[in-house]
Structure 1
Amino acid sequence: MLTNTLLGTQPTIVHAQGQQDASPHWPEIRNGFFESQPQTCSPDPRLTVITWSNDTSGPCIFEQSLNHLGLAPSVLGRGVEEWVNSIHKPTLTLEALQTISSNYVLGVDGFDAIALRDPGQAVDVFDAEFSCDLLFNAGKVCWPDLDVFRDFEHSVSEAAGSPFRYLNGGAWIGRTEFCREFFAAVAAQPQLDAWPSSEQGLLKQLFPEWYPNVSVDYRCRIFQTLQYVFDPIFRLDTRCAEI
């Protein structure tokens, strides 16, 4: 289990988006997890876990992390050529949501994130500690870097006092029925002129309209970004060491 000692939280998902040298804690957390004893978790009937990967050579790292826990996600996009995030990720997500019958959905990027423990625990935290219908990972930087996005996210009172204050689309959990509505809007949203391939740009355009039903995990209760975290604020309990 990972503890964020700055915020006193124990996130389930860690996400090392962007350039790997911007996430110096990632190798130690990732390796520590995969060196731990494999588990045999039971699938939670409340939750469907999805990820995105067009790689046909083998399981992506998020799949591997769930396999280490005795679980498997639903993989969207396997074999899609010329992947475009702003096109394939929203449309494949929306298609999947039409067939999902569980009450909750957890979506996590395939190539730069892992689940550190049973994702069913994320449902418990989401129900107990959040009033929104869809919760996104919190990042330390605003991307795409536009004033209109940054100004809104700085105005959200929930973000005050946290270094993790910007919506990041690489990990989210939500109520399935609400997610169908939201991702239908995402799939219909025009691309940003300056960043036409950015799926996160679509999310950022919609965030002010959908807030507070759509919110961000500002205190890293479920999701923990590792990007641009350079201070020793993490403790990986399996090794009882500050990293």
Structure 2
Amino acid sequence: MITEDNLVVSIDTVVYFQVTDARAATYEIANYLGAVEQLTTTTLRNVVGGLNLEEALTSRDNINGQLRIVLDEATGKWGIRVSRVELKAIDPPLSIQDSMEKQMRAERDRRAVILTAEGTKQSQILEAEGERQAAILRAEGDAKAAVLRAQGEAEAIQTVFHAIHVGDPDPKLLAYQYLLTLPKLAEGQANTLWVIPSELTEALKGVGQGFFGPRHEAPPTGTDAAPRG
């Protein structure tokens, strides 16, 4: 058969029919078997000739229905009733078959690439979501740790302040504790400037007097000495 797009196809057809009037099948037609075969071939050419290859391959049920109606109407006067027509196979030329196979293979490859890309996309989305959740948890953990450290430092300051308040230390003791703290303050590389309150310098004088005793001034000499009487 030749399709509408001028491609030669081979079609294998099966026709199921029944002789309902033996007299008409004997006297109205010389050879009803050959007549049914020829009529099927002619009708099939007319039907397939109006379709392109793709339509012929995808419209088998439509072709079967058209063939059965035409054959049953034409063979009724011969005492024959066509009950069913089936297209067993439609084979396009080998070159067309190769092209169709390549097209189907390309389509399968395209779908495989799409599925792979979709899988990669979903994997990246899940990975990014996991990293985001991990970052959120780390940030929450750091925030809680900072809060706990701040609370601990606040409690330590309150404890020290309470102990100082209860002990009521004098300025000399505070100055001594400050002297003990100075080496720790100097451990940092950026600690090049120390700020010493004026109140603390007065206390340091007291500490010095406590360690080294009261400072005695030298008697005046020279012209500053008082005249003897």
RCO higher in structure (CA 8 A, sep ≥6)? 1
Tell me the TM-score normalised to structure 2 length: 0.17
Q: From the CA coordinates, give the structure whose radius of gyration is larger.
A: 2
- Which structure has more strand as a fraction of its residues? 1
Tell me the TM-score normalised to structure 1 length: 0.17
- Which structure has more helix as a fraction of its residues? 2
